[in-house]
Structure 1
């Protein structure tokens, strides 16, 4: 049996590993590198992800996969500090004292916000799927908390669609990020970079006989009798990890869900200085061409990166990124944080049109089954990634769809 997997990201690789035990597997990846949004740049003496990534304490499928690949010893737990950039000032918001000192929320607002954080893991997310996040926050925490704290975050991430985003997504995000201590959020990272996971999965799949073709975009999918042709090549089964509507476009078939997606443009910068006062994740309340400044080397040790500070500027877009976005982001960053251009050692901009679903109200009803129209579908749009996408969810989707395929052919 020959299986084609469209997409060499986490879901595609996670599915390939068990499928190679009983079938021939070919992976088509459109880009030169595997990993999807988990792909990495190779600098002179270190690797750094195109988009910032970390894992969480409950990511059991990820931990099991790392054990199987012999990579468990590379996983480490680090503290991620947070802050808010408001009116040109950096406000740290990691410790209880820092939160109490934050001037843009009243004490009552802070109490309500703290109580929501404590309750988030116990709330019924299914009941919140149809409730807009903006409506939920206004009703339960008040207008001032929404306007001063949540609205800028929603605006920077979802732009004009911020009022469509469901409370299920927001509460899930709060819950998953509530593993906090006085030094910050407890987050997992791979010593040496997540490319080790991607490379480990690819090497194991190839060891078991998988064929991986990078730089090979899929341009056509066609049903031929009891088989499929992908780019004119015959396969018994096709697993697509790209958005369902793209499968409909490539195949000419109707009936695939139109999953709302957004794009991401993430600039990575190598600097000679720290500009966020030791803070890992700095959200931007002030209007800027990016919504957060994520200083990776305030999370992972700087000495691993040739003594450079490594900073991400995170930006999201709808149909397409703004023209000259790289110049806009870098110019704004240097001006806002008083960084001379000579302090910037290098910069790269990664752009992904389908970076992730927009979890609008009613999203639960859009989630496709693992098998539709004779094809298998899995990815960031699958149920394990609802209502918040993660590496854990993408691995789970790949493993679950692989079990479905194996069950169908046995």
Structure 2
């Protein structure tokens, strides 16, 4: 990925956004170039940033990775973090009509009363086939149409529709079938004991610290609390907040990028609100991931310490996840806590702490036809990378963001070599 030393060895490069893609591109380019990262928040990492408690750090938004995430795993190896990788089992369950049903083992699935044995058989076959579907052909088809044709109205309404509602709300009927198939396929690495998921010993703050230190060691500058107000270009180069650069990598959402000046097509995004709580006791019956089918101001409950060891924290960590379009519901934090306490029989005094993180641009909405829309997102001369880019299609992930950052660094390298040949 690096550029051979030469006339353009010390290009000045601005990177807009200190999330995964921005950090990865900075890491790859900083050995040969002068890098400046602009991050509007008080901490780098984007959606992978953490709360820093007295005795531990915990991600603001729940995360894990998969055994097929080769680019991320290679990056961890480069950063000497391979020995910190843990492969853990992720158990699952569903909350329906006031009852929590474990759905991890074959026996638990067979006992689930809201689908017939025939429905469960069809669902199992569909899951097994998920990796064989052509997502390109499915991009323009709605998930509702595709799933109804594949599995029937009952399975769609009782199993998939609540999941789509919790993830996409009012846009559930417009979501691409490519997203659903990809989602099912990526989560099919299962054994009899549950899904095999990757995590880092003591959390992802270790990764953020390691990669940012490498960037700084090479002379890279990370400017936190520094939003980008303007981006422009003339015959002499690019200007970010009035400061001159030779090239710019933008990893923020197109909607935010438009506000800084470049004329870029709009991409539909949705927001995420994630409540993280420290509790005195476990409350999810040992289940890591619970999808809620009942009405609630959140769509999923993630029992983090049913996944990562409780000993790291000295308390139980639970996430409540909600997605929204536009703005989150007023007083959402209070609504979440009240509903959670009622459903899971938790007293207020059993909540040791609670923090809400919210991002109106948490990720793109993969509506039918998204792939063609994605092709139109470009600004001449500006290198774009992030969750809206091809590497994160048709489902965003840590792996996709890493690959987007690598591709951005490669584009800058190619640009520099071409300019050097022409000089």
TM-score w.r.t. length of structure 1: 0.98
1:384 counterpart = 2:384: no
**How far, CA to CA, are the matches of 1:156 and 1:94 in structure 2?**
20
Alignment of 1:216-295 (within 5 A): 216-251=226-261, 253-254=262-263, 256-295=264-303
Map of 2:366 onto structure 1: 359
Map of 1:346 onto structure 2: 353
C-alpha contact (below 8 Å) 1:244/1:377 kept by paired residues: no
**How far, CA to CA, are the matches of 1:125 and 1:290 in structure 2?**
29
**Residues 44-87 of structure 1, C-alpha deviation per residue, up to 9 Å, x if partnerless?**
11110000000001011111101110111111000000000001
Alignment of 1:9-408 (within 5 A): 9-251=19-261, 253-254=262-263, 256-306=264-314, 308-368=315-375, 372-408=379-415
Equivalent position SS for 1:387: coil
C-alpha contact (below 8 Å) 2:228/2:240 kept by paired residues: yes
TM-superposed CA distance for 1:147, in Å, is 1.0
In structure 2, list runs of 5 or more residues that go unmatched: 1-10, 418-423
Q: Structure 2 vs 1, CA of residues 370 and 226 (structure 1 numbering), >3 Å: closer, same or farther?
A: farther
Runs of 4+ in 1 over 4 A off after TM superposition: 368-371
**How far, CA to CA, are the matches of 1:371 and 1:62 in structure 2?**
25
**How far, CA to CA, are the matches of 1:364 and 1:129 in structure 2?**
7
Equivalent position SS for 1:367: helix
**How far, CA to CA, are the matches of 1:368 and 1:131 in structure 2?**
18
TM-superposed CA distance for 1:249, in Å, is 2.2
TM-superposed CA distance for 1:257, in Å, is 2.2
**How far, CA to CA, are the matches of 1:164 and 1:323 in structure 2?**
26
**How far, CA to CA, are the matches of 1:134 and 1:272 in structure 2?**
41
C-alpha contact (below 8 Å) 1:7/1:30 kept by paired residues: yes
**How far, CA to CA, are the matches of 1:248 and 1:73 in structure 2?**
41
C-alpha contact (below 8 Å) 2:13/2:35 kept by paired residues: yes
**How far, CA to CA, are the matches of 2:30 and 2:105 in structure 1?**
48
C-alpha contact (below 8 Å) 1:121/1:175 kept by paired residues: yes
TM-superposed CA distance for 1:223, in Å, is 1.5
Matched residue count = 407
TM-superposed CA distance for 1:371, in Å, is 5.7
TM-superposed CA distance for 1:368, in Å, is 4.4
**How far, CA to CA, are the matches of 2:255 and 2:326 in structure 1?**
15
TM-score w.r.t. length of structure 2: 0.95
C-alpha contact (below 8 Å) 1:257/1:368 kept by paired residues: no
**How far, CA to CA, are the matches of 1:36 and 1:20 in structure 2?**
20
C-alpha contact (below 8 Å) 2:265/2:376 kept by paired residues: no
**Residues 140-198 of structure 1, C-alpha deviation per residue, up to 9 Å, x if partnerless?**
10111011111110001100000110010000000000001111100000011001111
C-alpha contact (below 8 Å) 2:265/2:377 kept by paired residues: no
Q: CA RMSD in A?
A: 1.0
Equivalent position SS for 2:125: helix
**How far, CA to CA, are the matches of 2:35 and 2:358 in structure 1?**
28
**How far, CA to CA, are the matches of 1:140 and 1:344 in structure 2?**
43
Equivalent position SS for 2:260: helix
